[in-house]
Amino acid sequence: MRRVISVLLVCAAGVCAHAQESDSLLVIFWNLENFFDWRDQGTGESDCEFSSRGSRSWTKSRFYSKCNTISKSVFWLSDKYGKMPDAVGLCEIENKGVLKRLLSSTLLRKYDYDIIHFDSRDRRGIDVAILYRKSTFQLLSTSLKTPVYNGVEMSTRDMLHAQMRCIPYGDTLDFIVCHHPSKYGGSELSQGRRYSAMESLAELCDSIRSDKQIVMGDFNDIPSAEQFDIVAGKLENKAESFSIRGEGTIRYKGKWDMIDMFMVSPLLDRYSTMEIGYIPFLMIYDKSYPGEKPLRTYSGPKYLGGVSDHCPIILKILLPLKDFR
């Protein structure tokens, strides 16, 4: 009798775990590091550099190899978390065309992903984007916010806002994807630009007037940087605890830095968890420092065949939110 009860309890626990997994949203953010096609379309130095005749010798076969590795990584994460991601935020995207090729040339074509992308004025010609499953979300609206510095719009990546209704549960969520200015050009100037970008993000969050906001991106700084105080109270930084523990998404001179983050509105903070995606086949031994680091597409001029110097981050959100108020 005890054995029967034990088996029933184990089965019940498995059913509950499965129900909890299915009653959640899975969101991924990933900096794909120079995800360019192989054609030089005359849109900037990086477009020329990442072309068949450019300094990187970026060819059609290397591009599609990167597509396949990205797809393989998404499926590896789906195996780990028990479902395909419902939404994927991306940055360092050249154009909508590379995303169309990613979805059409790999096994991702078997799923109902659609693309949200707009060209920005970024000097390197890279943008942010969102992939989302049409069976999970109905797209309601999109908008762009250009960061402003000293009263002038920056020539950088726009912030992409997409409002979507979760079809299975009816909840409306607001997604914002960011790629804030880098530290290129000196710490004082770049710090001011990132501070202004965070002010622009706070303005965008205020204008949305929603209690279900998901902000994701590469912020090019760690959570303890002073500009994150601007959104304190508006957004909860899910990456902060990782940074305190010395974990991160990018590794420089043997040290991990947490510069890729999810920040969510207070309501979502209670019912969401974040993780870092250390994908085994995208990690490589660091010859200069003990430990591993992400496998990049290039190391300087040398082609390595990886995806990015960033690890992806993952956010799980329990649904439906109306049950948790």
pLDDT score recorded for residue 20 = 41
pLDDT score recorded for residue 8 = 37
Superfamily (CATH H level) for 25-317: Endonuclease/exonuclease/phosphatase (3.60.10.10)
pLDDT score recorded for residue 14 = 39
- Give the closest residue to 212 by CA, choosing from 176, 159, 265: 265
pLDDT score recorded for residue 18 = 37
pLDDT, tens digit (0-9, with 9 covering 90-100), for 189-215:
688 999 999 999 999 999 998 999 999
pLDDT score recorded for residue 12 = 38
Report how far apart, in Å, the C-alpha atoms of 177 and of each of 48, 131, 212, 224 are. Answer: 26, 11, 14, 20
SS3 139: strand
Q: Phi and psi dihedrals of 222, rounded to 5? A: -90, 160
Report the alpha-carbon distance of residue 314 to residue 261 in Å, rounded.
Answer: 9
Residue ranges in 168-216 assigned as alpha helix (H): 187-208
Low-confidence ranges of the chain (pLDDT < 50): 1-21
pLDDT score recorded for residue 183 = 82
Give the residues across from 321 on adjacent strands. Answer: none
Q: Tell me how far the alpha carbon of residue 29 is from its chain's centroid.
A: 2
pLDDT score recorded for residue 43 = 67
Report how far apart, in Å, the C-alpha atoms of 116 and of each of 88, 155, 303, 317 are. Answer: 10, 20, 30, 21
Tokens describing residue 247: 């974990």
Evaluated on CA atoms 306, 310, 30, 245, the torsion sign reads positive
116-148 exposure pattern, b = at least 16 Cβ within 10 A, e = fewer = bbeebebebbbbbbbbbbeebbeeeeeeebbbe
CB atoms within 10 A of CB 41: 14
Report the alpha-carbon distance of residue 142 to residue 153 in Å, rounded.
Answer: 19
Using left for φ > 0, alpha for ψ between -120 and 50, and beta otherwise, residue 171 falls in beta
**Structural domain boundaries of the chain?**
25-317
pLDDT score recorded for residue 39 = 87
Report the alpha-carbon distance of residue 117 to residue 130 in Å, rounded.
Answer: 7
Q: Phi and psi dihedrals of 31, rounded to 5? A: -85, 115
Q: Return the residue matching tokens 């034990």.
A: 6
Tokens describing residue 152: 């002038």
∠ Cα 247 248 249 (to 5°): 150
- Give the closest residue to 34 by CA, choosing from 279, 310, 281: 310
CB atoms within 10 A of CB 309: 19
